[in-house]
A and B are shown apart, each in its own frame.
Chain A
């Protein structure tokens, strides 16, 4: 009976011109979105490879130069584009793609895609995640809003009831008829993305397991939507009311809930303004050692401490260039200041994320969105991780340069020039994003919330079918 009902429902759906048209539109949209994303992905990765190579050769070919001049000359850490960003671009567009690494200062990521676009970018892009998160749930509504109400309206429910059909079997048949088309569309999209990504092996390591995990998350999201839409169709008597209610749920879950969650999180745990942040950093920096200022109180204290440590009475008698040493100590102080303030930002972000995760109970969209971005490595956590890795690299770079300055020159010898080959000894910046296992562990609460959504929606549906 389950199979019979499922096949009957699918026949009815496919014979409905509106459904055929909508199905075609979704498929075309998916195709176009994948094509656009694949082109963007390829183009950005080419830019990434080119910028990374060019910037490294610029660094390597500096020629003879004072290491501290090189420290100010700086270099860039480029954020790689990860394969699954083809499906979910997450916050990549807004987060910036490279960080300028220089002495004394931790910079934020810059050159975001959004910054290169006009105000029209506010209208959004046609991306696979847009279709996955917004359009397919709408398609579910279109397919399923009248699944049960039409039986009442057409009068077929009476005949079905008279045949002694166990209601749960009948409902399961209908559920499957709604699930299979959605499964087919989603599988098609992911398969297409997988094939495309496997053929772009020059750019990042593509992982089928991550793609499969993302697929599972989206299927969970759609199952929750299917259950909600069918539940409404079971509870109300008219198709029109079922459609309006289902659309209202979609608006609340996909449009209102994320924005409300964002506003609540921001209101509860606000970020400092850029001006406040800069002022706080500056204040803390000024309270410590400035590597460039040999006359400051902190510099003099450091000088006395080092002289005592080495048992000499003049910095000229030290076995290294005290200028380089002081530069490094100043750098370490500044790094601590940045660490403290960026940690505060991270804490705020973490608190905001907690609020978000708490509010994920109000909409299956929220846990799905978080999971999708996290698996695609386009979420804010990955961006933070990249920024931290870049900062670690910056600190190591400054130490590498200051040590060279301190070890190979004498106090006051600002004319010192490191060899032209020296720069090549600096290791290349490589960033390894969190692995799938780590991502899943970090997002276990989102997985649980999605599971709760599934459990509740299935229970509601099952309980309601008993009263058909």
Chain B
């Protein structure tokens, strides 16, 4: 569903993403770990066609994202680190708008159902987003993905700044989506959450995918060690 082939992005002399090849199939969650500047967000931005690759290619559902920018986005829902919605509109109004412009005209009952499935409390449905916490906004983001019947979910540090409970709830939501066959690519710093939710884990450094694991084949401690080694944090390792 998600695939990159020797995907490279250069900003002048700086190579942000270097010949990255990865794939995420239906019902898989690939968590990309890496320090700031590792190229995780740039990869997501290229998959969204926000920026063009310098070389290589990226495809969504076998469609090149550069050649088919509108069509590929029909499959995608993107939840950034800090999902911003319209503060003066309620959760249900935001969901109605975003799913509507994505081509899904849904009755209120369905919209409420998606918000419920996304874990948002009933009493928050008609409250303005300006009163929402980040975790609640992320749930509306998931509701958008559900309403849109998304095939691909791209997440950029979605649990950053969430309290453990909210982060755990968010992880559970991703599992639900995975089971529905959604292909999920998540960029994160959170090793614990990555180990919890991912089917596959990749570690990026200097724009390269240095290591890749099947999540169930590796323990959290092994993952942490591999991460620190990849990052070359010698002081921490010693």
**Residues on A close to B: CB < 8 A?**
1, 4-5, 8, 11-12, 15-16, 154-156, 158-166, 170
Contact = CB atoms under 8 A, between A and B. Distances in A.
B203 to A, nearest CB: 25
B197 interface: no
A442 to B, nearest CB: 47
B76 interface: yes
Chain B CB within 10 Å, residue with most, of A5, A12, A155, A158: A158
Given A11-B88, A15-B88, A154-B87, A162 B82 contact: no
Given A8-B89, A11-B88, A12-B89, A163 B101 contact: yes
A3 to B, nearest CB: 9
Interface of B: 48, 50, 69-74, 76-78, 80, 82-89, 93, 96-98, 100-103, 141, 148, 154
Contacts of B86: 8, 12, 154, 156
Contact of A158 (B73, B78, B88): B78
Nearest to A4: B100
A11 B78 contact: no
Nearest to B48: A162
B87 A164 contact: no
A8 B102 contact: no
A11 B84 CA distance: 17
Chain B CB within 10 Å, residue with most, of A15, A16, A156: A156
Tell me the interface secondary structure of chain B in the complex. Answer: mixed
Given A4-B100, A162-B73, A12 B78 contact: no
A159 B89 contact: no
Contacts of B76: 162, 164
B88 A155 contact: no
A4 B97 contact: yes
B87 A162 contact: no
A163 B48 CA distance: 9
A159 B88 contact: no
Given A154-B86, A162-B77, A164-B74, A11 B93 contact: yes
A155 B80 contact: yes
Contacts of A164: 69-74, 76, 102
B182 to A, nearest CB: 15
Nearest to A161: B50
13 contacts: A1-B100, A5-B101, A12-B86, A12-B88, A12-B89, A15-B88, A158-B84, A161-B48, A162-B73, A162-B154, A164-B70, A164-B73, A164-B76
Given A1-B101, A5-B101, A12-B89, A159 B73 contact: no
The 8 closest A-B pairs by CB, nearest first: A164-B73, A155-B84, A162-B78, A4-B100, A15-B88, A164-B70, A1-B101, A163-B102
Contacts of A4: 96-97, 100-101
A154 B130 CA distance: 11
Contacts of A161: 48, 50
Nearest to A157: B84
Nearest to B90: A11
Contacts of B74: 164
Given A4-B100, A8-B93, A159 B83 contact: yes
Contacts of A159: 78, 80, 83-85, 98, 141
Contacts of B93: 8, 11
A245 to B, nearest CB: 24
B48 A160 contact: no
Contacts of B88: 11-12, 15-16
